[in-house]
Chains A and B, each alone.
Chain A
């Protein structure tokens, strides 16, 4: 039986719009887009131009800092546009699909060197994140350990996609895990939700976690298994991405198809669909948004860590979930701070909804207050299951005091670990952005 780690701090929100656990359809789209902003910290160098023909697995760009890290097309077809924004920043590479799924055939890999080479060339390296800095792993550094999370307990999380890990995706997952095992001298850990079991190849260690969000974050799991110290590097991955790697290793072809939960209170029929990363939101959500003439927020990912992409955006490279909630920018609540709050989505006992629990809240994107200095203490600690003092770390990051950040554990955290803190924060500070900026500045300073 696997080791069980209990995490007391965490956030459990019950929102309306959970997807029913079965796959409705496969969303086939004319175009897909590769959005370099999905890959944080990468300086993209585009290697295709409009009119070029590509296959599934053809490289379309690479990272200027690590040219071996390639990013590939999820479809076969023709590049129709490379859109650039201010200062020629690459916004997206749009590929028109020919619907044939012609794939590049890669050689099989068996040794550690071959596996690494294959993952880099076939665009799979993007799935490997590293701590420190929470960016795509530096291929020249061997990780101490590898941590893979195999569950998600964020609001409306795509639970069914994770169930597939024991079903259709089991073989690919095992293949992926075995390959990752080759890439480290250390251990490969898989974090699962307590009570679920997962079949993993020999040599891979399963650790069960009992606790609310962010217990599903690989970084949180790593901290509670074997934390990162200064000078060490670990890799973190999501099991759903390991499946994509596994398919490549099994078949020699890239197959990025994901099981995506379409969720949120604004979705007419929340359900699971199969879709490729880069699929336009308009296609994913076609005819499935509740009618009404008010603004919605279309999020690739979940409401805590996802990206606001709007309806003309695309499914993110790492996301297995789409959430649509009301924007709420035209809601002016009269004396809202004084109301009893029978339906308020909150963790505060100053609202009635904490005394008479309500389920299926339909929150919108409002902050519900103005930004303030950090006033309340211990707020972050309640939802931060690490032996780190989040408030002090955040203050060190704001002051950009490098010594202090190191001492307080900056190398162990990622912005997503602060998502729950940001939700509960009375002072409405953009904590994930603060931590992200801090990590980026630190990375620049250190390299």
Chain B
């Protein structure tokens, strides 16, 4: 490592103002601080600092995302081979490889576009490159349907990074969750490609692997898509080849849906990592689930012939769609969430409640979790405002009583 350090020290002057590559200073510093923790020492205030930094924080989130991502890759392959009727004849690794190759380009596109813009923005501002997008870039491919065209991901990522983040001042300054803005942009700009029954299961081949034609009984509708179109007062949800699904299936997650969102189990493993390391707020996760379960329970009393989602049990509701993913990875984004303790309970509860309400009462929208989080992102400052005002009032009251 000493040789690498020496090499960096040798080429560093080229990147400093006046050097040959001065316009790439931020990029160089970004890579340098990635390789070596900066040796900057404190100039004022405390003389020792906690070892934690934002790079480590973001890394932990990425680790927590891995179970859901790996499961999502496998599930992409699983759904594909199930659809073409060759699942039994295909090995586990083949299934995973298919999904891996299908998902990888999306990850690459999201990172290249997003980080490219971040690098440019950092250089324009003469800032250090900040690591916020490392998480966003991983989230984006996980919350889109597998058949989303790559160029759409590129456009949406660029839009989100520029207009949801950089114009507000970069990492830590954004009001809306960047990954969710990407998703919302895709949803509203290209509705035909983002919903319906034909985007959640990849039926074609990937780089020549897994060619075949779908079986006759195939339907690519996600469980929530089926709920939205259900008629009558009974509900049976089926997998892509028409076999009925159970709550355990929803929990394990071998069902059609956005890439990383289907497996409640894998997401909960991520949640455990986030909570054990103390990175995510347990207050938010807990209250999102509480809000969701309670609202889903209340919704079981509405007329199922008008609102078919009333037929789903509260447990089914939180296992299906993007609910668990939103609760664990989206709602807990510290920058866009409520920041006060009390505020977090309210913020989380309303996300859970709103997600289920959108699902049940807006039959045109099969899934509401992501929109609920975006909506509450907008309200988080208001919630915090009231918590802060309460603190201020306590102080004023104390002064009057004195």
A interface residues with partner B (beta carbon < 8 Å): 13, 15, 155, 227, 229-232, 297, 299, 303-306, 308, 323, 325, 327-338, 341, 344-351, 363-378, 381, 387-389, 391-392, 407-409, 415, 419, 422-428, 430-433
Contacts and interface: CB of A to CB of B under 8 A. Distances in A.
Nearest to B279: A350
A237 B272 CA distance: 46
Max count, chain A CB within 10 A of own CB: residue among B53, B57, B335: B53
Contact of A408 (B40, B50, B392, B402): B392
Contact of B47 (A306, A334, A346, A376): A306
Contacts of B398: 227, 229
Contact of B48 (A231, A350, A363, A374): A363
B10 interface: no
B36 A299 contact: no
B288 to A, nearest CB: 16
B277 interface: yes
Interface stretch (B72-80, B169-177, B187-195, B310-318): B169-177
Contact of A366 (B37, B44, B59, B60): B37
Contacts of B20: none
B45 A433 contact: yes
A401 to B, nearest CB: 13
Given A333-B36, A372-B172, A364 B59 contact: no
Given A333-B36, A368-B51, 10 more contacts: A303-B48, A305-B46, A328-B39, A328-B41, A330-B39, A367-B41, A373-B172, A388-B391, A407-B395, A423-B49
Given A348-B50, A368-B53, A335 B339 contact: no
B118 to A, nearest CB: 13
Interface string B341-355: 100100000000000
Going nearest first, the 10 A-B pairs with the smallest beta carbon separation are A369-B53, A373-B172, A336-B37, A432-B45, A229-B399, A377-B339, A344-B51, A365-B41, A348-B52, A337-B55
Contact of B399 (A230, A332, A373, A408): A230
13 contacts: A304-B47, A304-B48, A330-B39, A337-B37, A348-B50, A350-B52, A365-B42, A367-B41, A375-B132, A409-B395, A423-B50, A424-B52, A427-B54
Interface of B: 1, 4-5, 33-57, 59-60, 128, 130, 132, 169-173, 276-279, 281, 334-335, 337-341, 344, 388, 391-392, 394-396, 398-399, 402
A229 B45 contact: no
A39 B60 CA distance: 44
A388 B402 CA distance: 18
Contacts of A415: 45
A372 B35 contact: no
A377 B337 contact: yes
A346 B36 contact: no
A82 to B, nearest CB: 26
Contacts of A345: 48, 50-51
Nearest to B172: A373
A303 B42 CA distance: 11
A103 B38 CA distance: 51
Contact of B277 (A231, A350, A391): A350
Contacts of A407: 392, 395-396
Contact of B39 (A331, A373, A388): A331
Contacts of A336: 36-37
Contacts of B277: 348-350
A356 B173 CA distance: 35
A268 B194 CA distance: 67
A363 B50 CA distance: 9
Max count, chain B CB within 10 A of own CB: residue among A366, A369, A374, A378: A369
A19 B172 CA distance: 42
A407 B390 CA distance: 11
A372 B391 CA distance: 27
A330 B5 CA distance: 11
Contacts of A344: 51
A21 to B, nearest CB: 23
B35 A334 contact: yes
A291 B132 CA distance: 42
Contacts of B171: 372-373, 375
Contacts of B5: 332, 334
A426 B52 contact: yes
B268 to A, nearest CB: 18
A376 B57 CA distance: 9
Max count, chain A CB within 10 A of own CB: residue among B35, B39, B277, B388: B39
Contacts of B52: 346-348, 350-351, 368-369, 424, 426
A374 B173 CA distance: 8
Nearest to B401: A229
Contact of A369 (B37, B43, B60, B399): B37
Nearest to B44: A433
B278 A367 contact: no
Contacts of A303: 46-48
A367 B42 contact: yes
A77 B35 CA distance: 56
Contacts of B173: 373
Nearest to A347: B50
B51 A373 contact: no
Max count, chain A CB within 10 A of own CB: residue among B38, B172, B344: B38
Contacts of B278: 348-350
Nearest to B8: A332
Contacts of A371: 128
B1 to A, nearest CB: 4
A376 B172 CA distance: 9
A391 B42 CA distance: 21
A399 to B, nearest CB: 14
Contacts of B392: 407-408
Contacts of B47: 297, 299, 303-304, 306, 308, 323, 325, 365
Nearest to A432: B45
Given A392-B388, A426-B53, A378 B281 contact: yes
Contacts of A373: 169-173
A230 B339 CA distance: 26
Nearest to B45: A432
A350 to B, nearest CB: 4
A392 B277 CA distance: 25
Given A338-B59, A369-B37, A376-B57, A432 B46 contact: yes
A229 to B, nearest CB: 4
B48 A432 contact: no
A349 B44 contact: no
Nearest to A372: B54
Contacts of A332: 5, 36-37, 39
Contacts of A431: 45
A367 B335 contact: no
Contacts of A389: 340, 388, 391
A373 B51 CA distance: 17
